[in-house]
A and B are shown apart, each in its own frame.
Chain A
Amino acid sequence: MADAPICELKAVQKSFDRGGGNTLRVLEDINLDIRPNEVLCLIGPSGCGKSTILRILAGLIDPTKGDVRYHGSKLDALNPGVSIVFQGFALYPWMTVEENVRTVLRAKGMPEEEVRSRADRAITLVGLEGFEEAYPRELSGGMKQRVGMARALSVDPEILFMDEPFSQVDALTAEGLRAEILDIWEDAERNPSSILMVSHDIKEVVYMADRIAVLSANPGRVRTIVDNSLPRPRDMRSPEFLRLVDQLHDIITSTELPDIQVSTVEPSLVPDMIEPLPNSQSTDILGLMEYLETQGGSSELFQVVAATHVPFEKVLASVKAAEMLDLVDTPKRMVLLTPLGTRFIRAGMEERKEIWKERLLDLKLFRVIRDMLEFHEGKLAREEVLAEIHSRLPMENPELTFETLVAWGRFGELFAYREERGVLTPE
């Protein structure tokens, strides 16, 4: 009994219709279970579908294929045991703190006395006494998320879902909230029995989770599930803690920055395949390289994250981008400037653009675009590019790729783009 999962995903696949007959595969063959009395965290790069998994488990959206199970039986409606804490709080701005909490209880059809006493209890539990009459716009991010937590806890859920709950809360407040939510969860007599949290912060995940599901993107898959048996309360500075953080870093890095590029191994098998562009702006890439230059040309990936206070995902995207352009190399967890990268960062703006342009034309996608531009006599419509991207990179979001393509191409003075007209022209 103790091990029977509360909630399960069985071979779940999810595609979204992007209109015009195009579909975007977001999730592929997901198997996951939430067991009683555990904290399960989902972590992975953006676009890996972690929030989609959470919504499928909650019954907010249907999987395209596969089953959702709740206590062993198939679920095709809202999950009755779940309430959600949202990333953007999702509070109703026209209701006071108290009304926000009471409203969801009224929706359950409880008698008014119970509504009031339960709301009071939930508000007390998260330390919001005194703020009952305040409107959400008067509160700070941390306080707003407390309201979100009170609202979610007031309905006494079996599982509490949290979708990047602390990403819009300042770091110090987030630390406090994490400890508080664990305190509430640790009371074994009471709900919530389990917590499912989506996050992109590795330290947060190691601090909270019993099990950590690491996802990879395009389409989202479960890479591996890491058990975390560190004793609670956890000390974020203990060597065991840091070791686990490092281990997770390694797992994510090796999935995201494999030392051997797959596409170079079997180039003949997929002749028309092109590498997807990491969604990173040229300024971010320049910033990364400037930082590496100040560090003597090399640094550890997580050192970059820690020193620059840029989110891990974003740093990762920039590193991937710079690596594609041969400006950095990434043996293991190190990031180091290539000789070309060093020349690039020490050069003036003119030469930098020259190098950048040259490197871009080394990428198949940019060569294709250049040829298309020529073919269309210097006037290439956005729609045509989107269609091309979609046919060559079916797993990627074409709009996002197009945005990156334009940003890189503009910096390399490869082409110009006028948004109103939606037309690419040669520079």
Chain B
Amino acid sequence: MIHRLLDTVWGQATALMYPIKRRRWVDLLVLLAGCAILYGLVVMGRQWTGQHRPMVEIDLSPLALPKYTFFSMMRGLAAYICSLAFTLVYAFWAAKDRRAEKLLIPLLDILQSIPVLGFMPGLVLALVAMFPHSNLGLELAAVVMIFTGQAWNMTFSLYHSLKSVPQDMQESATVYGFSWWQRFKWVELPYGTTGLVWNSMMSMAGGWFFLMITEAFKLGDKDFRLPGLGSYMSVAVEQGNVPAMVYAILAMVIMIVFLDQVLWRPVVVWAQRFRVEETSQAEAPRSWLLKLIRRSRLIRWLEARRAHLVRGVYPPMPLPAGRPERRMSPRLRGGRWVANVALAVLAALSVLSAFKLFGFLHTIPAMRWWDLLKAGGLTLSRVLISTLIGTLWAVPAGLAIGLSPRLSKILQPVVQVAASFPAPMLFPVVIAALATFGVGLNYGCILLMLLGTQWYILFNVIAGAMAIPGDLREAATSFRLSRWQRMKALYLPAIFPYLVTGWVTAAGGAWNASIVAEYAEIKGQVLSTWGLGSTVSAAAYHKDLPMLAAGVILMSTLVVVFNRLVWKPCYKLASTRYSLTK
């Protein structure tokens, strides 16, 4: 009798103890991570507000690397937070305000095609002049540069989602009287989340490209380098310290993998619930970290607390008994005039900058324009050749990987890391290697462009190959199509839409890369080859503002014209003739 009583009591007690025991270490981890972030922010703050030095002091010992990696990562994250905030405001505004939309969307299109690297020198000088006594200006410049590499595609993605919310979801929100804010947080933002998450990952990867360049930035004899991975690498190259170069590259890879595991993987898994399509995926993505966090009692407690607080802060509104509710697209009534003023300011700014630019361009003689145009043609052909070379090897490789489940499982994460890896970090090493083989920058810069952009093509081809329906492949097998016939009849058409996306991303990246690839500074020596990218770089170096403006505008124009004339028809073809979903 006693025995049984003890057993039940003890049994229940252990049952109670069990989950606590198992989960305590998770909570401990969460606490530790919180402390680490706090400490990191303090260190970061000290660096940002610290005394500005004329020269960056980089400690090449591997022990100092974690600190530099952390600095680089925090700059990337800070820029991402800015990009996200910008995206939410700008996309919402453009989607909801018909009048503003007419200005905002073309503006975004222009911003997206401007090679922002051209503006870096000006931006750095201006911000440093604004904060002469601290590092703040330089740090801000880095964040702004990364922001310009991140924000636009995120904004476009959210804008398109907001515009394409299914009609019945909109109608039900209207019928049940959602306010604009409720509609945004319950309907529109969730609908756009999947696209936003994917574009965030892409943006973050693109951001490292700009980060590496800004961190290692020097203008003439002035040193604007910031303590971080980019400057570590550049100092290591200057001193010819090979082990340090290897450490830096390793640290970059580790940071990319770390962010993938700790930030993006959990976010992707969490965002699964925002999927709209009904079909269940063959294999849902998984995240060990999210599983862990969901187990944490600390986090659950915090969440409950937050929910409680939110409800406390906003007292329930009185019931609108029988009052006819406002119809369709509820607007921010109070915010109406704020939006109008903002729109007016933006329009004025656009006109003003256009005016200013025109003034600059006026001073350039016609002959120089002709030279610029030829340089543009040369760089365009480099961009296209690099895209072509990338396609030539990435299509067969991507098909081989994507069609084999075993290979794609192993290699896809590797390709993802490679695509996120900022190529400019490797530029000095590659240029040095090319020099020893006697290859000049004229052809060498094609290789440099390729270094960064080929992964986008490969990545997309793999995705396309994996999406080829099984029955089409089976049909090809059953009809005994030869390898080449299969390529022509099935594989190439099926991956074409993905290939176009890869091309557009790769070509865009190559244009940006041309600015740093055609004009490189190695060990205090300027190496350059003729082209539009080097013209822009040289103009920035010599502070020749009219030339800089002309070069940047010409490059933007080339990008836009090429988009309209080549990529857009490709997209159209991909979505009509080569679409597998319709």
**Residues of A participating in the B interface, judged by any CB pair closer than 8 Å:** 55, 58-60, 75, 77-80, 82-84, 86-90, 92-95, 103-104, 106-112, 135, 137, 151, 155, 419-420
Contacts of B316 in A (CB 8 A): 109-112
Which of A60, A89, A95 makes the CB contact (< 8 A) with B171? A60
- For chain B residues 259-286, which have a beta carbon within 8 Å of chain A? 273-276, 278, 280
Q: Could you list 6 further interchain pairs (A-B, Cβ under 8 angstroms) beyond the known A92-B190, A103-B176, A420-B576?
A: A60-B174, A60-B175, A95-B186, A103-B182, A107-B179, A112-B316
- B219 → chain A closest CB, angstroms: 48
Which of A58, A77, A78, A137 makes the CB contact (< 8 A) with B280? A137
Question: Is the contact region of chain B dominated by helix, strand, or loop, or is it mixed?
Answer: loop
Which of A92, A110, A137, A419 makes the CB contact (< 8 A) with B278? A137
- For chain B residues 157-188, which have a beta carbon within 8 Å of chain A? 166, 168-169, 171-172, 174-179, 182, 186-187
Task: Give 24 pairs: A residue, B residue, CB < 8 Å, sorted on A.
Answer: A59-B324, A60-B174, A60-B175, A77-B326, A78-B175, A78-B326, A78-B327, A80-B325, A84-B175, A86-B171, A86-B172, A89-B168, A90-B169, A90-B172, A93-B273, A93-B274, A93-B276, A94-B273, A103-B176, A106-B182, A107-B178, A108-B176, A112-B316, A137-B278
Q: Are B324 and A78 in contact (CB under 8 A)?
A: yes
Which of A75, A84, A108 makes the CB contact (< 8 A) with B319? A108
B29 within 8 A of A: no
Contacts of B17 in A (CB 8 A): none
Contacts of B327 in A (CB 8 A): 59-60, 77-78
Which of B169, B174, B319, B325 makes the CB contact (< 8 A) with A110? B319
- B116 → chain A closest CB, angstroms: 35
Contacts of A95 in B (CB 8 A): 186
**Complex alpha-carbon distance, A87 and B172, angstroms:** 12
The 10 closest A-B pairs by CB, nearest first: A109-B317, A90-B168, A77-B324, A104-B176, A90-B172, A94-B190, A78-B325, A111-B316, A94-B274, A86-B168
B392 within 8 A of A: no
Interface size counted on chain B using CB atoms at 8 A: 38
- For chain B residues 296-349, which have a beta carbon within 8 Å of chain A? 311, 316-320, 322-328
B24 within 8 A of A: no
Contacts of A78 in B (CB 8 A): 174-175, 177, 324-327
Contacts of B325 in A (CB 8 A): 77-78, 80
- A305 → chain B closest CB, angstroms: 28
**Complex alpha-carbon distance, A151 and B311, angstroms:** 22
B573 within 8 A of A: yes
**Complex alpha-carbon distance, A111 and B315, angstroms:** 8
**Complex alpha-carbon distance, A137 and B324, angstroms:** 33
**Complex alpha-carbon distance, A88 and B171, angstroms:** 12
Q: Are B169 and A83 in contact (CB under 8 A)?
A: no
Contacts of B323 in A (CB 8 A): 80
Contacts of B319 in A (CB 8 A): 108-110
CB-based nearest B residue for A144: B278
Contacts of A92 in B (CB 8 A): 169, 186-187, 190
B577 within 8 A of A: yes
Contacts of A87 in B (CB 8 A): 168
Say whether, besides A80-B324, A90-B172, A94-B274, A103 and B573 are in contact (CB < 8 Å). no
Q: Are B275 and A93 in contact (CB under 8 A)?
A: yes
Q: Are B168 and A88 in contact (CB under 8 A)?
A: yes
**Complex alpha-carbon distance, A55 and B320, angstroms:** 22
